[in-house]
Homo-oligomer: A and B are copies of this chain.
Amino acid sequence: MKLKVIIPNSGMSKETLKERELMLKSVAAKETEISVDCIEHGPESIESNYDEILAGKYIIDKVINAEREGYDAIIIYCGSDPAIAAAREIVNIPVIGPGKISMLIANDLAYKFSILTVLDQTIPHDEELVRKQGIDVTRLASVRSINIPVCDVRNDMEKTFNTLLEEGKKAIEVDGAHALVLACLGMAGMGKRLQEALKIPVIDPAFLAIKYAELLVTLNLKQSKKSYPIPPEKIRI
């Protein structure tokens, strides 16, 4: 099985992409091949609807290529699932949105969950995301931010972890969360430690997306073409 991971951040180095590949391989089945790539142009990170629009076309380019190159499934490596509906329309292989599936699994394991996001200003955006997932919005306990921009999340991992821990505690004690979802894929790898410290499920979307892609491919499942129909032919200059 071959999985394509598309990071909607421009300008990532080959080394970093390789590192992500290795990290994700750690949870994959032996026979799963993972190829991590980033977009050619667009914003260096996704922190607004504006960023999502700028990244959109470049994500789609990579999505179309991945299908042509014979990949079995595509992961858009961002908690906001940018361009996910368009991607699901344009190809016939499963396209996974780590944000959506993370919330759904949180909702299986717990009655109420909170989301830990990067910035105060991405809180409203993430609340709106929940409303699009088909989940009853009263299941969301809260969205809390660590106030660290995406590009800095992995700079000082200890600081990031400690802030996640602090906000996670408040989500449990003040807001009544029974599970947590990491909103930013840059937080990948911190879920496990956080879960051990907080004693509630913490969904780490990066790894969940890999296992979920394997699940879909093995079971021969993909997005419905009734929900995501093939776009009509037309001039697109």
Contacts and interface: CB of A to CB of B under 8 A. Distances in A.
27 contacts: A27-B219, A44-B235, A48-B89, A48-B231, A49-B83, A49-B88, A50-B86, A50-B90, A52-B86, A53-B53, A56-B56, A104-B105, A107-B134, A109-B223, A111-B128, A112-B227, A131-B132, A134-B135, A178-B224, A179-B224, A179-B227, A199-B225, A201-B222, A204-B219, A207-B219, A211-B214, A212-B215
A197 interface: no
* Number of copies of this protein chain within its complex: 6
Given A108-B100, A134-B107, A208-B219, A41 B178 contact: no
Interface string A33-65: 000000001111101111111101101100000
A101 interface: yes
A183 to B, nearest CB: 15
Interface string A175-207: 001110000000000001001000111011001
A123 to B, nearest CB: 8
Report, as a range, how many residues of chain A touch the other chain. Answer: 35 or more
A226 interface: yes
A109 B134 CA distance: 11
A59 B131 CA distance: 25
Nearest to A235: B44
Contacts of A223: 109-110, 201
Contacts of A134: 107, 111, 135-136, 139
